[in-house]
Amino acid sequence: MPVMVDSRNWFPKVEAGRRRVLPGTQRKGVWIEYEGRLLLDFASNDYLGLSFDKDLQQAVWDTVREYGFGSGASRLVSGDHPLMHSLEKALAAWKGYEACLLVGSGSLANMGLIAALVGRHDFAFCDRLCHASLIDGVRLSGARLVRYPHLNLEFLQAQLAKHPKGRKIIVSDGVFSMDGDCADLQGLVRLAEEYDALLVVDDAHGNGVMGDEGKGLSDLANVAGHARLIETGTLGKAFGAYGAFILSTEEMIESLRQRLRTMIYSTALPPCVAAAALVALRKVREGHLQRKLFENIATFQAACKERGLPIRPSPSAIQVYPVGRDEAALERSVRLRKAGFWVPAIRPPTVPENTARLRISISALHRKEDLVALTEALT
């Protein structure tokens, strides 16, 4: 008889309050169905509501009819498609970079990029709150990981000065995913120049949301296209689709085409996803969804202020209601669910210890009364 591994002994025990659960929900526009009830969804990253856009859906159907569904192989083998090249050109032009490379997802883009850029004699300086996939990229690369306190550029500068040898990359989110606050990209570019480093910025939550035409934080900070800056972004959030992209100089992107293992050894995106993303990009650039989103953010923040709710001010679509203890955040989330709102409690290890919170994400699809009703339920 084979002896089976008992997975309960294989892994360390997950504490009761930390267990993650797949909720079995399904989204329907601004609503989400949970155990047979429709709740208002304040959890998705579909900031512009594009995942339910009829024109995106039409583009998917048209493309599937013409070219089938799956891409069949890595782009370097036979999975390439003109729609992918069109999308890369369009994304680069929109963001103000020379070149772009599509990757399967934001996590794959981050892991592959960092593993391609640095190795075990190099250093990666990461904001303490940057996304898990960026940290995973550093681990995969074998580079020395140096974490600096959130947004603390003085500390970062001291660390950069302390490590004169080896190649260096600075790594940060643009808009931070669990706090909704923003990196100082001008300051980071300046440090990259001063210490001969490259800067990797993942603006997953800034693209489509922040800046003129939703071009993201690098546009607001006037550093888009800078030769020391490599940006990653996802098509799974404001674009309402799936997939991701890396932006940089033509030379850097050409090197990444040779070395990005998470692209080379992975099946290309379905062509219909590229078609949908092209439509999404057109809608992002038109600007009316972004304007609606910011009206909604302002409405929500004003209603919070009126009720004296301790929402942490954030310039992005991510609004944080700090709670502290894990159990307290969970209790609040459950109470909101009973009142008809889907608002996740974000707990460690996703965020630092004792900083459990409700993460409220605002969408262009929310109606004014939805936002006001949530603040009433929070009171």
Q: Mind telling me the catalytic residues?
A: 177, 205, 237
- Cβ contact 49:41 at 8 Å: no
Min dist. Cβ of residue 354 to ligand PLP (A): 22
Scanning 74-82, 202-210, 250-258, 360-368 for contacts with ligand PLP by CB under 6 A, the matching segment is 202-210
- Neighbour tally for 62: CB within 10 Å: 12
d(CA 183, CA 168): 19
For residues 167 to 186, the per-residue mask of contacts with ligand PLP, x marking binding by CB under 6 A and - elsewhere, is: ------x---x---------
Residue matched to tokens 């970062």: 156
Report residue 349: phi and psi, to 5°: -85, 5
Which tokens hold the place of 84?
A: 């992918």
CA geometry: angle 130, 363, 280, nearest 5 deg? 85
Instruction: Single out the residue of 107, 296, 301, 363 in contact with ligand PLP (rule: CB under 6 A).
Output: 107
Name 102's bridge partners. Answer: 245
What radius of gyration, in Å, describes the C-alpha atoms of the chain? 21
Q: 105 or 301, CB closer to ligand PLP?
A: 105
Instruction: By CB under 6 A, name the one of 51, 105, 290, 301 that touches ligand PLP.
Output: 105
Cα-flanking dihedrals φ and ψ of residue 194, to 5°? -65, -35
Residue 130 or 378 with smaller CB distance to ligand PLP:
130
Q: Which of 244, 247, 303, 351 binds ligand PLP (CB under 6 A)?
A: 244
Choice between 107 and 248, CB closer to ligand PLP: 107
Rounded to 5°, the CA angle 213-27-111 comes to 60
Among 51, 133, 218, 319, binds ligand PLP (CB under 6 A): 133
240: contact with ligand PLP by CB under 6 A: no
Collapsed DSSP state (helix, strand, coil) of residue 159: helix
* Residue 236 interacts with ligand PLP (CB under 6 A): yes or no: yes
* Nearer residue to ligand PLP within complex by CB, 88 or 370: 88
Residue 159 found at the interface with ligand PLP (CB under 6 A): no
Contact 235, 204 (CB under 8 A): no
Of residues 114 and 345, the one with the C-beta less far from ligand PLP? 114
Q: Which residues bind ligand PLP (CB under 6 A)?
A: 105-107, 110, 131, 133, 173, 177, 202, 204-205, 234, 236, 244
